[in-house]
Structure 1
């Protein structure tokens, strides 16, 4: 490819880090690219909790519009922000190797790990639901903004701590000295993965990006997103999922939790590698048989 690829990205420092990573990988493959930073709807409204904004793809739809109107050639996303159904005319071109999928609790200065927490900050309905399930008496306050803003809000607050994705802080070299890895909290589907999308039919662009695709990450995130899609969940539904490959087997864990944390339905399944294309949907059917549809319906009717 001789043309300079235009990479669309949100303009937060983490998003720019991700886009620059893709730019460098393309450069190593002999493909020149430039960044086109764009403000998303999710970046403009930093007050409303994400789950209350009522719009799926709040961080991606502006870039979708840029892509479909030929203002950019590809877009780089945190994969967990991407709707399970891509906009018509847009296709997944690559998924980069996954970083940490884990959530961590970053403590406010002077605070440390405790058996019970009184007040925690997060803007995620999934994290809030899981916190309330484990710590029913905990107060969960809304926390929005880019990584640096959220870290500062934590230090200015009266909270014990706030929850972050370990991958984001690690990529920005902002991991604090003390934090708790929340091993009991399953991640959002595709957390820690970076997705590249392009226009359908653009074979040269697709092929250039697809060279960066990591098959293991692509399969695992596909399973997790199929699980989410089958449960008909979105940003307002507390759904967690994690698929991991070991040899010729896939180990999957998933759950759905009521927003108040009172009801948690879980599934854990093992699949053969040749079953990967149906694994996510099969695991979701297991939860639906346990009553997951009732939780989804109750959230929709709120």
Structure 2
């Protein structure tokens, strides 16, 4: 390409970084370019909430107009800001690799309470103008208050430093790209499977005129096909709901092995409890349609759910079910007993890692009042265990929540950190040793059974439409005396629990994660 290109961009530090990133990539393939800064409606109007601005494309419309007028050759956008349908005459020619789409909760250090979920004190005020973030964070922490937050990254951080908020929420992608120093705050990184991001969050879009075939061809080395496939699912979901980028809708898709997996979170308003769903499919083209069908107004949901553990009426799962008037019958089918009453302080002194594979393991271990070395790190298998750990003033140094219920992958990730050291594993008297098997021969493993389970006898059956089993022992206790009723559906927490149903040749659903969010997603995702 012989001509020098003009790249249209907004003028913020982040937007300029993004435009220069594309400019540098173009230079690598022999194409010269210069930048032209263009102000958008979203930049100019700072006193209104984003959902109060008219129309869609608050941060993109003016760039698109200049593209159509021919005053620029391409525009670089944060893909999440773009409407799902291009204006006539414009196309997306390329998308970048995806920056981590996690959210960052940036907290004043005097507002930190690690016993609370997200490490934020009770009744704290959080700055964000995103209805999607408000709805999902409120579902996790109903006590929090929200105030709107506008401006570029520097402005938002200054408002936090000026103590207008106790904490603010920002996309990790933007902070990472401009390498902003936020070390004077406590930072909670919230993965995209916990707070589901905006469609295409963390991705850059390069937009051009549709007739510019030469430029389209020249830009293809910059296009990431795998990212294009996954965000196409996310943006099609956004399109099907006819929602703008500031609607309380989140969608995240990624490839996992030979399949694609997708999460969606949708609420009517920022104050509404969101409905979440998790689905897998070998064909990404089917995923958006399947997600959309789960939110049909006339779709059938179960009226009752049994779960083999006690359920707090204020828990996430209870509130998710209550929204749809689904009754919960919660009762444990096992009894749990401690089997040791003292820990050897000499052993604890030399431990590098403690890894917990269950909530019961955490509770029974810390009930022994262990005195841990400051160097000792703690790992958990997922979000549910992490929340229990917080009750003991501890934050996990490793969490397997990004791997869902895949214990083999969780064990492998943990082994990468712990191999070669001394690892203490508080566990049930009889438990699988998936983590132990993943650790290297050089690793010193200390197994400490801290509790045992005893099955209840003469367990009464449940007439609930959905049965949720939380462990293999609960399955054994229930089916010692009972059978499934016709039409009852089964959800299993963990593959070892599911294996019990494999033995009985009974179909079941595995949630992505073994916590209450995962259970809620599984119930909402059932087919009827």
TM-score, normalisation: structure 1: 0.91
Q: Equivalent residue of 1:211, what SS?
A: helix
Q: Equivalent residue of 1:110, what SS?
A: helix
> Aligned residue for 2:199?
189
For each residue in 1:185-239, what CA deviation from the matched residue of structure 2 results, as whole angstroms up to 9, or x when unmatched?
1101100000001000101111112220011111111110001111111134200
Alignment partner for residue 143 of structure 1, among 125, 132, 149? 149
The within-5 A match list for 1:81-100 is 81-100=81-100
The answer to whether the aligner puts 1:72 opposite 2:72 as a matched pair is yes
The answer to whether the aligner puts 1:179 opposite 2:187 as a matched pair is yes
The answer to whether the aligner puts 1:278 opposite 2:286 as a matched pair is yes
- The whole-number CA distance in structure 2 between the counterparts of 1:128 and 1:56 is 20
The answer to whether the aligner puts 1:60 opposite 2:68 as a matched pair is no
The answer to whether the 8 A contact 2:5-2:32 is kept is yes
Q: Equivalent residue of 2:211, what SS?
A: coil
Q: Structure 1 regions of 5+ residues with no counterpart? A: 292-302
The answer to whether the 8 A contact 2:198-2:245 is kept is no
Q: Equivalent residue of 2:295, what SS?
A: helix
The answer to whether the 8 A contact 1:128-1:259 is kept is no
Q: Equivalent residue of 1:11, what SS?
A: coil
- The whole-number CA distance in structure 2 between the counterparts of 1:115 and 1:284 is 36
CA deviation after TM superposition for structure 1 residue 289, in Å: 5.0
Identify which range, 258-267 or 47-56, moves more after superposition: 258-267
For each residue in 1:101-120, what CA deviation from the matched residue of structure 2 results, as whole angstroms up to 9, or x when unmatched?
01110113533223644210
CA deviation after TM superposition for structure 1 residue 24, in Å: 0.3
Alignment partner for residue 232 of structure 1, among 224, 242, 256? 242
Q: Equivalent residue of 1:8, what SS?
A: strand
The answer to whether the aligner puts 1:254 opposite 2:264 as a matched pair is yes
The answer to whether the 8 A contact 1:231-1:288 is kept is no
CA radius of gyration, larger in: 2
CA deviation after TM superposition for structure 1 residue 257, in Å: 1.6
Superposition misfits of 4+ residues, deviation over 6 angstroms: none
For each residue in 1:249-269, what CA deviation from the matched residue of structure 2 results, as whole angstroms up to 9, or x when unmatched?
101110102324333211111
For each residue in 1:154-192, what CA deviation from the matched residue of structure 2 results, as whole angstroms up to 9, or x when unmatched?
111242200000000011111523300123211011000
CA deviation after TM superposition for structure 1 residue 290, in Å: 6.8
Higher relative CO (CA 8 A, sep ≥ 6), structure 1 or 2? 1
Quickly say closer, same or farther: Cα 1:158–1:202, change in 2 above 3 A: closer
Identify which range, 259-268 or 50-59, moves more after superposition: 259-268
Alignment partner for residue 228 of structure 2, among 218, 228, 247? 218
- The whole-number CA distance in structure 2 between the counterparts of 1:64 and 1:166 is 26
- The whole-number CA distance in structure 2 between the counterparts of 1:85 and 1:176 is 36
Q: Structure 2 regions of 5+ residues with no counterpart? A: 113-118, 300-528
- The whole-number CA distance in structure 1 between the counterparts of 2:198 and 2:190 is 13
Quickly say closer, same or farther: Cα 1:160–1:188, change in 2 above 3 A: same
The answer to whether the 8 A contact 1:129-1:258 is kept is no
Q: Equivalent residue of 1:208, what SS?
A: helix
Identify which range, 5-14 or 129-138, moves more after superposition: 129-138
The answer to whether the 8 A contact 2:135-2:273 is kept is no
The answer to whether the aligner puts 1:198 opposite 2:208 as a matched pair is yes
> Aligned residue for 1:103?
103
- The whole-number CA distance in structure 1 between the counterparts of 2:298 and 2:104 is 29
The answer to whether the 8 A contact 1:54-1:236 is kept is no
For each residue in 1:6-30, what CA deviation from the matched residue of structure 2 results, as whole angstroms up to 9, or x when unmatched?
1001111100000000000000000
Corresponding residue pairs, total: 289
For each residue in 1:81-104, what CA deviation from the matched residue of structure 2 results, as whole angstroms up to 9, or x when unmatched?
000011110001000000010111
Quickly say closer, same or farther: Cα 1:87–1:248, change in 2 above 3 A: same
CA RMSD of aligned residues (A): 1.5
Q: Equivalent residue of 2:111, what SS?
A: coil
- The whole-number CA distance in structure 2 between the counterparts of 1:161 and 1:172 is 20
CA deviation after TM superposition for structure 1 residue 31, in Å: 0.5
- The whole-number CA distance in structure 2 between the counterparts of 1:125 and 1:155 is 23
Q: Equivalent residue of 1:57, what SS?
A: coil
> Aligned residue for 1:155?
161
